């Protein structure tokens, strides 16, 4: 027997309780709906601005407006209104709509605030652009083989990425700060090889169609990077010529570094053997 006030299996009130519906007061739904909407003051709006914005030449006028006008101090904003002001999404020619919609006092404070925010955003964009130009110039000043391989890796990731983008390249190869580009400028040949090896390994883990990480690194070491996408291994004669020229330059007996010479030998054995087998298979 179903007791009065209880609920059936599917959650609908039973007949016995139809005349005595339970009040939803106190439930989590009613508590959420009954909570008063938070209101924001203009003083709070200014306190949430970046410290750099407070250095604007007209910022003291905003503080003076708040101190002198009591209507500004009494004004309370909804979250939507606060977001529009904080993100400077109001155009000057739409301010009259803003005043009418949110019942804000028609005061020059709002126009001045939006102008300061727009000046701040424009200055940040200028600084960001100058930093990008600086980084780009320093990257172009790197050794030419390094620059060409970095460019190739960016285009290669665009080829394998479904959206035609290069997130790994952007995160791990192209620096986003001046400190990082200064660090790259001090890289040795072995440092670049280690960086490219780690990057190619990430690409192989993310893009399953890419299976030539070691071979492509060997192409970089022997200065015979392919220009096509997907990459095709260079023919054996080109690999052999590149190895001979570079091995004479980096041989320890001629003042070269032993670790670079070992990297050259590994790259030659990997590429020449694979290329020779590939050519022999196609001839047969």
pLDDT, tens only, 110-125: 999 999 999 999 999 9
**pLDDT at site 49:** 95
Q: Residue 196's closest CA among 171, 165, 223, 217? A: 217
Beta strands in 125-271 (DSSP E): none
- The reported pLDDT for the residue numbered 40 is 95
Whether the predicted pLDDT of 23 surpasses 50: no
Q: Is the pLDDT of residue 128 over 90?
A: yes
Note the pLDDT of residue 253: 86
Q: How confident is the model at residue 72 (pLDDT cuts 50, 70, 90)?
A: very high
pLDDT of residue 14: 41
Least reliable range by pLDDT among 64-78, 203-217, 270-284: 270-284
Beta-bridge partner residues of 76: 41
Q: Model confidence at 182, in pLDDT bands (50, 70, 90)?
A: very high
Tokens (6 digits) for 117: 């925010």
pTM over 0.85: no
Residue-wise pLDDT tens digits, 222-276 = 999 998 888 988 999 999 999 999 988 888 888 888 999 999 999 999 998 754 4
Taking the C-alpha atoms of residue 171 and residue 155, their distance in angstroms, rounded to an integer, is 15
Residue of 27 and 97 predicted with greater confidence: 97
Name the pairing type of β-strands 76-77 and 40-41.
Answer: antiparallel
Q: Computed from CA positions of residues 202, 206, 210, 211, in that sequence, does the dihedral angle turn out positive or negative? A: positive
pLDDT digits (tens, 9 = 90+) for 26-51: 445 445 555 668 899 999 999 999 99
Calculate what percentage of the chain has a pLDDT beyond 90.
Answer: 75
Confidence at 206, pLDDT banded by 50, 70, 90: very high
User: What does the alpha-carbon distance between residue 148 and residue 136 come to, in Å, rounded to a whole number?
Assistant: 14
- pLDDT tens sequence across 81-95: 999 999 999 999 999
For residue 280, is pLDDT > 50?
A: no
**Phi and psi dihedrals of 41, rounded to 5?**
-100, 165
Give the model's pLDDT for residue 284: 41
pLDDT band at 73 (very low <50, low <70, confident <90, very high): very high
* 10, 45 contact by CB (below 8 A): no
d(CA 116, CA 85): 11
Banded pLDDT at 4 (limits 50, 70, 90): very low
pLDDT tops 90 at residue 150: yes
Q: What is the mean pLDDT of the chain?
A: 86
Overall average pLDDT of the 171-191 stretch: 96
The whole-number pLDDT of residue 32 equals 52
**Three-state secondary structure call for residue 182:** helix
């Amino acid at each position: 027997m179903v007791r009065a006030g209880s609920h059936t299996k599917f959650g609908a009130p039973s007949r016995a309780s139809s005349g005595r519906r339970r009040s939803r007061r106190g439930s989590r739904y009613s508590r959420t709906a009954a909570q008063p909407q938070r209101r924001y003051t203009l003083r709070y709006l200014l306190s949430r601005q970046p410290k750099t914005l407070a250095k604007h030449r007209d910022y003291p006028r905003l503080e003076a407006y708040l101190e002198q006008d009591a209507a500004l101090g009494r004004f309370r904003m909804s979250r939507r209104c606060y977001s529009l002001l904080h993100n400077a999404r109001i155009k000057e020619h739409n301010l009259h709509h803003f005043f009418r919609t949110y019942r804000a006092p028609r005061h020059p404070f709002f126009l001045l605030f939006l102008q300061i925010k727009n000046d701040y955003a424009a200055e940040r964009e200028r600084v960001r652009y100058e930093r990008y130009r600086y980084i780009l110039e320093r990257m172009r000043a790197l050794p030419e083989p390094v620059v060409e391989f970095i460019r190739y890796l960016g285009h290669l990731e665009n080829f394998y990425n479904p959206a035609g983008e290069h997130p790994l390249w952007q995160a791990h190869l192209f620096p986003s700060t001046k400190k990082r580009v200064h660090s790259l400028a001090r890289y040795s040949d072995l440092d670049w090889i280690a960086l490219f090896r780690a990057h190619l390994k990430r690409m192989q883990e993310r893009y399953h169609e890419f299976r030539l990480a070691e071979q492509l690194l060997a192409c970089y070491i022997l200065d015979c990077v392919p220009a096509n996408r997907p990459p095709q291994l260079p023919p054996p004669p080109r690999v052999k010529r590149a190895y001979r020229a570079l091995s004479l330059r980096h041989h320890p007996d001629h003042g070269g570094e032993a670790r670079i010479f070992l990297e050259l030998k590994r790259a030659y054995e990997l590429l020449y053997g694979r290329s020779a087998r590939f050519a022999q298979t196609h001839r047969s």
